[in-house]
Chain A
Amino acid sequence: MPIPNTPFSWHRNKENLGIWHGRGKVAATGVGTSPTARRWDEKPETSMGALTLAAIRKAIDDAGIRPSDIDGIVLTPESTTGVTNDPNTPPPEGWDKVFKMVDYPQAGITRGDIDWVLLNMPELSNVQFKMYGTGCMSVAFTTTAEAIARGHTHTCLVVRGWHNLAGRYYVGQGAAALDTASGPFKYGAWGTPACSTAAFPFEEYCRKYGKTHDMMAAFVVEQRRNGLMNPDGFYSQHRPEMITVEDYLAGRWIAKPANIYDNDLPVQAALAVVMTTAERAKDHKPKPAYVLTHAQTRPETQGVTPSLESWERLSDKMGRMLYEGSGLQPEDLDFENMYDGFTLFHQFHLEGLRFASRGEKRGYALDLYQTDISIEGPNPVSPSGGNSGNGRTRWWNHRDSILQIQGRSPSQIKKPANNGVSGAHMPHFCDSLIWSSSPD
């Protein structure tokens, strides 16, 4: 029987649902992060699959439990948004000497696969619950929270690996791979770089609120600073280079007003997290990071590119759903770790949450960036450093939210981290969770 995807009814994508039924009953404990690499060198032992297995082992060890204690796994199968192989491409030579094979030849290479993981980790002997949280690890997190709250699993792995093959990431993909604009890609903006989808609404935002792209520099510099504190991040491991305001302002336009440093760098990496019931979490080694609620937004079809209006409306809705489900208010958040890959849309998330708002509803975030948004300050913005500071994964933010709540983030905020939020990816297409040090 095929492994199912998340049932649609599990997503909290409407308002007026009240407090989440699982509030405080689910917690994250163990966290395991693989080494990073810029690209895959085609050796089995450095493949996305190998990194995934390494991350799982580290997460279980970090939780202080046995592999046989794990009874569930939720995995995001997509391991890139860029170049991938044809699904029938055979594995490289020597692959079968390192890993056992499943029917899908790209399992462990360009696709995460639960059967492949279990086949190559026989110590996970008690897994009963299996589900795919597709598209984004955010979905895997919300799926796992819901699965535990509903009693389908009590100790569950949340997993996502990222591959990055040699060569260019997006070039020759989508509509650009075709001679003419045809097939489903004809509905996209033909020939535009991916960051144009963030550049258009950002430009609208700047015009509406009288802001400039230069005002992003403070945020981007802070992202890199936070990322370089993370020993597991790509930049800290491979390119410990601090960006300056001058560097950022000199960046080449990719889709003006998005410059090259507003884009995140594709990397190879994997993350695994152990999530469990509040009762069992007490017996795990790390302090529990409780889930207070989760929520989802999806695009309302309006055209081939997102608009400022839809981004504001849907990120506002995300804020309202999260506060309704958790019972918290904006002022209860000690930090926010919303998605940043592209940097230009981070402030839409931030404003939808009314994070560090002084009564403002919209148009204040770029001014906030000019204040102290560091981990030492009163309003820590994206303490993880996000994709911008660590490389492209879409999960540094979730990982760091858990570690912040546990008090062991490498970029730990200086004020107490009691409540925080993380979500990905775009302002109109997002799955988010509120994390807390207390289940109550």
Chain B
Amino acid sequence: MVFLISFDIDGTLEFGDPPGGITVEMVRRAKELGFLIGSCSDRFPSAQRAMWEAHNIEFDFVAAKHMLPDVRERFPADKYLHIGDRELDQQLAEQAGFEFLWDHEGVSEPWLDWLRTDGQ
């Protein structure tokens, strides 16, 4: 099974502005467990790349927030998740066929359960 997680940055990730509850360690853990990870944010794509590199995280994609459908097209996966802090995140995620979690809901790393329930 292939799982993809898209993170919003500002208000969602700990290095966002304002900082969110999703830590670098959570992202790194997801990557190490085989999730496809990346960001879909209103920050410039080039700036998103620089952020991941600054935190030494190997990412699979960066995209402007409204380009979630493009991410889905580029990366075939069994489940798609976007995590964000704005209604706009929710709206764009649902339009693109992603599941959606609010930033505070992501703090418990519920995607790890997918490995048990869906990842057999």
Binding site for B on A (CB under 8 A): 38-39, 166, 238-239, 241-244, 246-247, 250-253, 260-261
Contact = CB atoms under 8 A, between A and B. Distances in A.
Main secondary structure of the interface of A (DSSP, over half): loop
A243 B44 contact: yes
Interface of B: 17-18, 42-47, 50, 63-67
A247 B50 CA distance: 13
Given A166-B18, A241-B47, A250 B42 contact: no
Given A38-B17, A243-B44, A250 B64 contact: yes
B18 A247 contact: no
A104 to B, nearest CB: 29
Nearest to B44: A247
Nearest to B92: A252
A39 B45 CA distance: 23
B46 A247 contact: yes
B43 A241 contact: yes
A241 B43 CA distance: 9
Contacts of B50: 241
A166 B66 CA distance: 24
A244 B64 contact: no
Contacts of A243: 44, 46-47
A242 B43 CA distance: 11
A244 B42 contact: no
Given A250-B67, A251-B64, A252-B66, A238 B17 contact: yes
13 contacts: A39-B18, A238-B17, A241-B46, A243-B44, A246-B45, A246-B46, A247-B46, A250-B45, A250-B64, A252-B42, A252-B66, A260-B42, A261-B44
Nearest to A252: B66
Nearest to A38: B17
Given A246-B46, A250-B63, A261-B44, 10 more contacts: A239-B47, A241-B43, A241-B50, A244-B44, A244-B46, A247-B47, A250-B64, A252-B64, A252-B66, A253-B66
A365 to B, nearest CB: 24
Contacts of A253: 66
B93 to A, nearest CB: 14
Contacts of B45: 246-247, 250
Contacts of A251: 64
A252 B69 CA distance: 13
A241 B46 CA distance: 8
A141 to B, nearest CB: 31
Contacts of A250: 45, 63-64, 67
A94 B40 CA distance: 40
Contact of A252 (B18, B46, B47, B65): B65
A394 B20 CA distance: 30
Closest 5 CB pairs of A and B: A247-B44, A241-B47, A252-B66, A250-B64, A244-B46
